[in-house]
Amino acid sequence: MNYRHSYHAGNHADVFKHAILLRMSQLMQRKESPYCYLDSHAGTALYDLQGEAAGKTGEYLDGIARLWGRDDLPPLLSDYVASVGVQNGTADLRYYPGSPQLIAQGLREQDRMILSELHPADAATLREHFSSDARIAVHERDGYELAKAFLPVAEKRALWLLDPPFERADDLERCLKAIQVAIQRMRQTVIALWYPIKDERLLRDFYRQMAAAGVPKVLRVELTVRPPDTTLGLNGSGLMLINPPWPLWDELERDLPWLAHELGLSGAGAWRLDWLAGGP
Ligand SMILES: C[S@@+](CC[C@H](N)C(=O)[O-])C[C@H]1O[C@@H](n2cnc3c(N)ncnc32)[C@H](O)[C@@H]1O
């Protein structure tokens, strides 16, 4: 396990993933009844953007820093930037919340979180960070086992972020299997699977398999900051949203063009939104 998220925290992929994840959690909370948030590859709670790792790559400068302090943000982004602001107050942008912290900030008394992280140091930091909150359980274990271990949840409503580092060639395949297990165990599970867009051709099989996975509703959302066939690295990223809550589609259609424009490099930002299975 070489991947460390501290080098990438707050980059364009985090902005895209976290803004949508936050909105999904808000939509889960329209009902008073509790829901359970699962984060199988949790990372840690807070990242220091002035620390050594973030300083080495400077990736956040083309991500969250482009939105910070703006007063023209569309709704999806303004809630998200406000949530990042919770850690920074009126000061300069310094601390960036990872997905567990972002969701924990809005957790209600009746909600619950299950986090797993395999890196011992990050798991320990996460456990320490949330130690006084009885609603949040941290497990140092393989995130791909989460569905088998915890679904169905007693709340009968779950939102699962599936966000592996994609260090292994078979990670997309493992994600597909884990999603199928989750849906078999609890059909209404809402899942957000994040994936990198480096070479679009490599994703074609994945799209086909996702469409044929027997999952009721699959919404594909993508944001690219460079042309998708550029060989420089992470050209963008996507989210496969399983059973996405209504009216996410409309909100994404409204705000993604703005985000693609703001995060695109040399004017090359683009976005995509379509159903691979099911529909509205
Ligand atoms: C992309 S990062 C997570 C970022 C985090 N979800 C966020 O949005 O802030 C992926 C994390 O998965 C962890 N990891 C790698 N393999 C894992 C596994 N099999 N199970 C659980 N965690 C794993 C890595 O240590 C890393 O912290």
Ligand 1, pocket-test mutation among 41, 148, 166, 173, most atoms within 8 A of CB: 41
Query: How confident is the model over 172-191, as a mean pLDDT?
Result: 97
d(CA 55, CA 153): 40
Share of the chain above pLDDT 70, in %: 100
Q: How confident is the model at residue 2 (pLDDT cuts 50, 70, 90)?
A: confident
Give the model's pLDDT for residue 73.
98
Separation of CA 266 and ligand 1 centre (Å): 30
Give the model's pLDDT for residue 278.
94
The pLDDT of residue 90 is above 80: no
Query: How confident is the model over 106-130, as a mean pLDDT?
Result: 97
Among protein residues, the one with the nearest Cα to ligand 1's atom 12 is: 41
237 in contact with ligand 1, CB cutoff 6 A: no
Residue recorded with tokens 């409204």: 254
Separation of CA 69 and ligand 1 centre (Å): 29
Among protein residues, the one with the nearest Cα to ligand 1's atom 13 is: 41
Give the model's pLDDT for residue 194.
98
8 in contact with ligand 1, CB cutoff 6 A: no
Give the model's pLDDT for residue 129.
98
Q: Known catalytic residues?
A: 163
Ligand 1, pocket-test mutation among 14, 116, 118, most atoms within 8 A of CB: 118
The residue with greater pLDDT, 21 or 198, is 21
Q: How confident is the model at residue 233 (pLDDT cuts 50, 70, 90)?
A: confident
- What is residue 193's three-state secondary structure? strand
- Which is the closest atom of ligand 1 to the Cα of 194? 1
- What is residue 46's three-state secondary structure? strand
Looking at every residue in the chain, the average pLDDT score rounds to 95
Give the model's pLDDT for residue 105.
98
116 in contact with ligand 1, CB cutoff 6 A: yes
8 A C-beta contact, residue 269 and residue 224: yes
Count other Cβ atoms within 10 Å, centred on residue 156.
13
Q: How confident is the model at residue 199 (pLDDT cuts 50, 70, 90)?
A: confident
Among protein residues, the one with the nearest Cα to ligand 1's atom 8 is: 99
Query: How confident is the model over 121-137, as a mean pLDDT?
Result: 97
d(CA 240, CA 194): 7
The pLDDT of residue 236 is above 80: yes
Q: Kindly report, residue by residue over 247-267, the tens digit of the pLDDT.
A: 999 999 999 999 999 999 988
Ligand 1, pocket-test mutation among 117, 175, 237, most atoms within 8 A of CB: 117
- Which is the closest atom of ligand 1 to the Cα of 40? 21
Give yes or no for a cis peptide into 152 (omega within 30° of 0).
Answer: yes
246 in contact with ligand 1, CB cutoff 6 A: no
Query: How confident is the model over 146-163, as a mean pLDDT?
Result: 98
For CA atoms 85, 88, 92, 97, the dihedral sign is negative
The pLDDT of residue 229 is above 90: no
The pLDDT of residue 280 is above 80: no
Q: Kindly report, residue by residue over 43-75, the tens digit of the pLDDT.
A: 999 999 999 999 999 999 999 999 999 999 999
Alpha helices in 32-150 (DSSP H): 52-57, 64-67, 75-85, 99-104, 120-129, 146-150
228: which residues sit within 8 A by CB, 6+ positions away? Answer: 197, 199, 200, 235, 236, 270
118 in contact with ligand 1, CB cutoff 6 A: yes
Q: Cα dist. 184→41, 180, 214, 238 in Å?
A: 21, 6, 10, 24
